[in-house]
Amino acid sequence: MKEFGKECFDYVADFNFDRDIELNSIFEKTKATDRIVKELSLYTNVPILPGKTLIIFDEIQMSEGALNSLKYFCEDAPEYHVIAAGSLLGVAIRQKNMSVPVGKVEILHLYPVSFREFLHTSDERSWRYINQLKSIEPLPEIIHHRLELEYKRYLVTGGMPEAITTLLENKGMLKVDEVLQHILDLYQLDFSRYASPVEIPRINSLWNSLPSQLAKENRKFIYRIVRSGARAREYEDGLLWLEEAGLIYRIFNVSKPAIPLSGYQDLSAFKIYACDCGLLRRLARLSPEVIMNSNVGFTEFKGALTENFVLQSLMLQNDAKPFYWSSGNKAEVDFIWQMDSGVIPIEVKSETRISGKSLSVYSKQFKPPVRVRISMNNLRENDGLLSCPIPLSDWLRQIMGVMKTKEKG
């Protein structure tokens, strides 16, 4: 927010409601925006000018009055530019039963830095080449190899900005791990700060069980992995808490790949993934060297980490989460993606080996016009089957657009 303010405004007035508790009193006394601006000006060294100053309300979850004031800024003083953020904002609002000025604020969901954004900085030439793709054909070997290297580096850092900056400034993998561990430690503190006393140990157990849940060949969430004898009703609120905090994604099973997919979901069968593959790697205590060198024995969890990466990519390209499909113990397609007016099955493989019958079983049963297999193989398309390199997952929607253009031609 501060960088945005520096680039696009003459001044930035930053107010932190966690650090400066006195700020809360301003909003308790009045709802008049002119008076609020006058009093806020006493807490900053920059002028608060319409159109020239970006007003930042940070940690806004600490002040319900400040949250409500956004309505009055919108209605009575639209000439002021206000941006607000808060730690675990959704959780805090539900916990404190705070009212949100619906229709008066624009809600922006901030995700971890994507691989696409990472590549733009780490290898701009490759990024530019991929952005200009106009046909589905194998990438030049040099591009393919460079993408593979940058993808591995991204798995190490994930999308946390400080971790990426640490890597790109060549401060070393040890420092990257220190940064990620610090973030994980802060999450643990947030559990204690924003969750009820009875929920804290359950949320901790759910969060720490994430690597174990994903390390299984069948990644369906199992409560007994969290704790022996655990029951769904004990941990449902904890799962919801982690979802609202934006720390996990819950992907549900669908019995039938029909539109809308949400109409066929099985709420009792789901998988959970981390919000960020770098945090997942650190949570699992997986060393960067294992990622970079593809050590022997790094197999099933490598598949889980790859799936997590692909899911993060899919989340950025659609307005709805994907699902997954299974047929008893016979077959399972990793992701079922509703895109525009179609349903796309997506199979994920972490290496070049693509053996497996699940996508074939699905195809025979439902005959989809387009299927996607994401692996470390090169880009190509054959009879409706798109082979997409893992690093290009962020460009999947763009690539499928190229396929459609080809079909129309």
Tokens describing residue 196: 């009820």
Reference 56, options 34, 23, 99; nearest CA is 23
Q: How far is CA 357 from the centre of its chain?
A: 29
pLDDT of residue 164: 97
d(CA 159, CA 117): 9
d(CA 165, CA 177): 12
Sign of CA pseudo-dihedral 214, 218, 224, 228: negative
Burial of 238 from C-beta contacts in 10 A (0-12 / 13-18 / 19+): buried
Burial of 204 from C-beta contacts in 10 A (0-12 / 13-18 / 19+): middle
pLDDT tens string for the chain (409 positions)? 999 999 999 999 999 999 999 999 999 999 999 999 999 999 999 999 999 999 999 999 889 999 999 999 999 999 999 999 987 777 777 766 677 777 788 878 889 999 999 999 999 999 999 999 999 999 999 999 999 999 999 999 999 999 999 999 999 999 999 999 999 999 999 888 888 899 999 999 999 999 999 988 788 999 989 988 888 999 999 999 999 889 999 999 998 999 999 999 999 999 999 999 999 999 999 999 999 987 666 777 899 999 999 999 999 998 778 999 998 778 999 999 998 778 999 999 999 888 778 999 999 999 999 999 999 999 999 989 999 999 999 999 999 988 876 665 5
Indicate the SS3 state at residue 259: coil
Reference 349, options 334, 336, 337; nearest CA is 334
Q: Encode pLDDT of 380-403 as tens digits.
A: 999 899 999 999 999 999 999 888
**Ranges of each domain in the chain:** 2-96, 115-408
d(CA 292, CA 357): 29
Q: Encode pLDDT of 59-109 as tens digits.
A: 998 899 999 999 999 999 999 999 999 877 777 777 666 777 777 888 788
d(CA 391, CA 143): 11
Q: Report how far apart the first and last C-alpha atoms of the chain are (Å, whole number).
A: 44
